[in-house]
Chains A and B, each alone.
Chain A
Amino acid sequence: MDALSPPPAAAAPLLRVSALDMRYRSRRSGLLHALDGISLDIAPGEFVALVGPSGCGKTTLLKLMAGLQGGFEGDITLGGRPVTRPSAEVGVVFQEPTLLPWRTVLQNIMLPVELARQDPRAHTDRAMALMKTVGLAGFEHKYPKELSGGMRQRAGICRALVRDPRVLLMDEPFGALDAMTREFLNVELQRIWLGDGGAARKTIVFVTHSIPEAVFLSDRVVVMSPRPGRVAEIVPVDLPRPRKLSDMADAHAGQLLARIRCHFNLGGSIE
């Protein structure tokens, strides 16, 4: 970032990706150009969805934002500081809930606190409150195998939120769930996100390949094109909140869906 021209304070992005380029060598296909000149500013409290066909690098982009991977050109900054490794300010929700089967649900949710060697007592109340918010109250001492897929993913969300990060990165968190559970959790996620007002509201980056999910949840949909991953278009979603599933049938929502979809039809690859 250029120190001489600070961004205007009103629009100071929390998460900033500029001129990001990522190439890596793959055993199967040789040198791969995964991400090509991605620039993206995400404001505090904003909900941004990344959509695109497989191979467009959306998951890679998310991993880079999480500080899980290096070896890129360009800059990623969080609150003005470059992202080089995982940070307590970022919580990650993965495609698979990846709960540890030998830990109870509560112990799983408390794992980030434990790893940071923080006082568990100070965070248990928050963990319990989070579990209540996502509808897991009463399951604290159950083991993951006793939970349904949707409940496991909700526990994964609590785990990402337990240290109260400013940013939540979600990598197709509901992709493995059935359609009904998925829609239900979309509504729940919106409710949880709207539940925090003002500065406490999380900034969420949500990777998905479901266009309706992206439109339903986000303030902006970043449409990515495949190989190399580029930002094809950023579509603002100006539907009023809180949104209902039935809102997706409105004419305006239909226009947004169509606008995003046309990118994939041109590219010839829709998932």
Chain B
Amino acid sequence: MSDSLPPAAEGAEPGGPLSGLSPRVQQALLVSASLVLVVGGWELLVRWLQVPAFILPPPSAIAGQLLAMGGNPLFWTDLAITLHEVLAGYTLAIVLAVVLGVAIAQLPVLELSLMPYIVAFQTIPSVALAPLFLQWFGYGTASKVVMAALIAFFPILVNVIAGLQASGRDEVQMLRAFGATRTQTLLKLRVPNALPYVFAGLELGVVFALVGAIVAEFVGAKAGLGNRILQYNEQFNIAGMFAVLMVLAASGMLMHGAVSWLRRHLLFWSERHDRSADS
């Protein structure tokens, strides 16, 4: 097994063919190689075993579907609708979670009275509320936005609270010794100190928002990528389903990557970040 290249790759393979390259390039090469192997193996196996296309389509058929979708304006409309639901829900979740999180972290009364509800509510599988939201907010995008917001809300909220409460006593005392007011302590210590936590929540939240939007579309929708998956499923167009799945995966990775990028640039000072990006 070619152990997935830990950071200490320098001494690991002294004579290996990749030993002259940086760990990042080595990993990129290995990932591309494994992709070619998996996709090629899949194609060969499906053809060789003559697996019916409605069970498992070959990668070539999925690629064909992807190309066909690319030329279909209806697909782009669906993509835009789903992304809009995700981003609107995500934004709503961020705003609500930050406002409520700051309030809870600052006011012990709120923390004591609300935290039990928040913990309890979190244990409800939120996706089970999708049919209810359909009743309340209709078949349009509103019910999807609400679902996306609800699922993304909790990880952000929990991290905002944890982050705002994470400031060390030493730092709080230091600020007080230099005459800081409560507001100054919040703005100059607690908020920046909370950012690494908040971003951990934001990275989870954006992926959760995508899940929320798709689940809500499954339950009832007239458009969107989730709706498209259901349609292809009914038409036994399994290659089409896979194609949409790939678009969803790419969208999720892009959005998550954008949040990660923002985190790395804003939180260059953070210890956590130090450990993950060592090059």
Contact = CB atoms under 8 A, between A and B. Distances in A.
A155 interface: no
Given A111-B188, A115-B184, A115-B188, A100 B177 contact: no
B269 A102 contact: yes
A68 B179 contact: no
A contacts with B: majority SS:
loop
Contacts of A111: 175, 178, 188
B197 to A, nearest CB: 14
B180 interface: yes
Interface string A55-89: 00000000000101000000000000000001110
B103 to A, nearest CB: 24
Interface residues of A, number: 22
B192 A100 contact: yes
Interface string B1-40: 0000000000000000000000000000000000000000
A90 to B, nearest CB: 8
A98 B274 CA distance: 19
B173 A94 contact: yes
A94 B170 contact: yes
A95 B170 CA distance: 9
Contacts, number: 53
Interface residues of B, number: 20
Given A101-B271, A145-B269, A145-B274, A86 B170 contact: no
Contacts of A145: 269, 271, 274
Interface string B160-200: 00000000101101111111100010001100100000000
Interface in A138-178: 143, 145, 159
B270 interface: yes
B274 to A, nearest CB: 7
A66 B180 CA distance: 14
Contacts of B170: 94-96, 98
A116 B179 contact: yes
B132 to A, nearest CB: 42
29 contacts: A66-B177, A68-B176, A68-B177, A86-B176, A86-B178, A87-B179, A90-B177, A92-B178, A94-B174, A95-B170, A98-B171, A100-B188, A100-B192, A101-B269, A101-B270, A101-B271, A102-B192, A102-B267, A111-B178, A111-B188, A114-B188, A115-B175, A115-B179, A115-B180, A115-B184, A143-B269, A145-B269, A145-B271, A145-B274
Interface of B: 168, 170-171, 173-180, 184, 188-189, 192, 267, 269-271, 274
Minimum-distance CB pairs A-B, first 9: A112-B178, A92-B177, A98-B174, A101-B269, A102-B269, A115-B180, A102-B192, A98-B170, A86-B177
Given A92-B177, A102-B269, A116-B179, 4 more contacts: A86-B176, A100-B171, A101-B269, A115-B175
Interface of A: 66, 68, 86-88, 90, 92, 94-96, 98, 100-102, 111-112, 114-116, 143, 145, 159
